[in-house]
Every structure is written in C-alpha cells, then in structure tokens.
Amino acid sequence: MKLFLVLAMLSTTAMAETFKLPAGITFRAKGVGYDCGEFFTDYRPAPKKYADQKITFLQLAADKDLNTFLVEGTFPGTDGGLCTFGLFLNRSRDTKSMEIDHTEVVSTGSVEACTETKNWIDYNMSSMKYYASKRGIRFIAFEVMNEENDVCPNNTVRAVFDRR
C-alpha cells in the first residue's frame, strides 16, 4: 500500500523517453546512482558487475495504476554504437518485487551489437525487490544485486531513482 502512495507522488518532470508503456506513462523518476540498501546516504559507484557492462540507468517510469514499470538506460554496443534499452517490468504485490516482462533495445549502430548485454540485463534484472523512501517519498530503489561485490559490504546494491 505504501508503494501506491509513493509512486502516486512521483514527479512528472519532463525527461526524454525512448520507449512507451502500453498503458501510458504517468510518473517518472531520474536515475541518480547506487546505494547499499539505505536511503539518504552517499551514492556509490556502480559495482564491477554493472560497471563492466557500462550500464547507465536514465529513468524509471510507471503507468497510472502503478502496475507496469519501465526502466530506461544505455550501454555501449560491441560495434561502438550506443544501445538504449527499455526494461519493461510488472509489479508483484505478493513478493514486493518487479518481474521482467520483456526488454527492448534500439541502437545508433547495429541492434545485433547490443544482444549480449541485453541478454545479461534480462538475466540479472529478471526479478528485483523494490523500495521507496519514507521521508519525503522522494526516492525509489531496485535491488540490482544481493551478493558479494566490490561496492557494498552488506552485499545489497540498489539502483536509485529520484522523483524530482
């Protein structure tokens, strides 16, 4: 229930969007970095697992009913082109997670040069827990890793999105 309130208050700040949700985009939040599972702390660099793929999260978008979500980001293709991905997610209220529906990719080069990293995203982001900040209802975070890593001593790494 809290997520409904949080996401209902997400800003509709104008951001560039490459992909569209079928039900329309009502809410947006800008990708701002990574944290170690706690809001209002300093942002961390991308963990090696994500840094190696050179993935940048640009924005999070949600439909009016807060059932479907879209994470947009970029990574370089193997041919030097810029690949822009749209990770389409469905919210599971039972597990408090986002479950992948599908991923779309466009490229300034060949789309085939994006395939390896797109498949990596599909595998590594197929199901992610979600969190919303309590104070000010400003941040939304997805747990992108919960394993030993080079950034967070507690193993939890989250991609954070800011509604402002």
**Stretch 81-91: mean pLDDT:** 96
Model pLDDT, residue 133: 86
Whether residue 153 is contained in a domain is answered as yes
Whether residue 134 is contained in a domain is answered as yes
Whether residue 67 is contained in a domain is answered as yes
Whether residue 93 is contained in a domain is answered as yes
Structural domain span for residue 143: 27-162
Whether residue 140 is contained in a domain is answered as yes
Could you tell me the pTM of the whole model? Answer: 0.84
Domain CATH number, residue 63: 2.40.128
Whether residue 10 is contained in a domain is answered as no
Model pLDDT, residue 16: 58
Whether residue 136 is contained in a domain is answered as yes
Q: What is the pLDDT of residues 112-144, one digit of tens each?
A: 999 999 999 999 999 999 998 886 568 899 999
Give the whole-number percent of the chain exceeding pLDDT 70.
88
Number of domains in the chain: 1
Tokens describing residue 12: 């509709």
Whether residue 19 is contained in a domain is answered as no
Tokens describing residue 39: 């809001």
State the amino acid at position 164 in one-letter form: R
